[in-house]
Amino acid sequence: MNPCKNETVIESWVAGKKSSNHKRTLMSMPRPDGCVELFSYNLKIGHRTSAGVCVVGDFTAPTGSFHSVTTSCHVNKAKAVAAMVMHPKVWDASPVSDLDLPF
């Protein structure tokens, strides 16, 4: 996996491929089940289903879920190509977040 620009990482995520930028702060990581996860640092910000539907968690200041300027940039680039953008509270309660929830 050669390091590339953030835009190329987003394109790879949409295409279902593994990729990372030069600092490994943005990465797309395929899973064995056919889904592909998008990470900004260690925060999962995107999920591509095995059917190819891209969903992004809106971890930016307007939603009250600001993490960093860099993560906000990553999220905004992913939002531009995603089929669905979720508020972080909805993201956390959905199966795409991969959190172990009690319900």
Q: Is the CB of residue 40 less than 8 Å from the CB of residue 25?
A: yes
Cβ–Cβ under 8 Å, residues 72 and 60: yes
In a domain, 103, yes or no: no
The reply to whether 102 falls in a domain is: no
Q: Using an 8 Å Cβ cutoff, are 75 and 58 in contact?
A: yes
Residues with Cβ < 8 Å from 81, sequence gap 6 or more? 10, 11, 14, 54
Residue 69 lies in a domain: yes
pLDDT-based confidence at residue 98 (cuts at 50, 70, 90): confident
Domain range for residue 10?
A: 3-97
- Structurally, the chain folds into a number of domains equal to 1
Q: Per-residue pLDDT for 103 more than 70?
A: no
pLDDT at 102 over 80: no
In a domain, 49, yes or no: yes
Count CB neighbours of 70 within 10 A.
Answer: 14
- Statement: the pTM of the whole predicted model exceeds 0.85: yes
Q: Residues 27-78: pLDDT tens digits?
A: 999 999 999 999 999 999 999 999 999 999 999 999 999 999 999 999 999 9
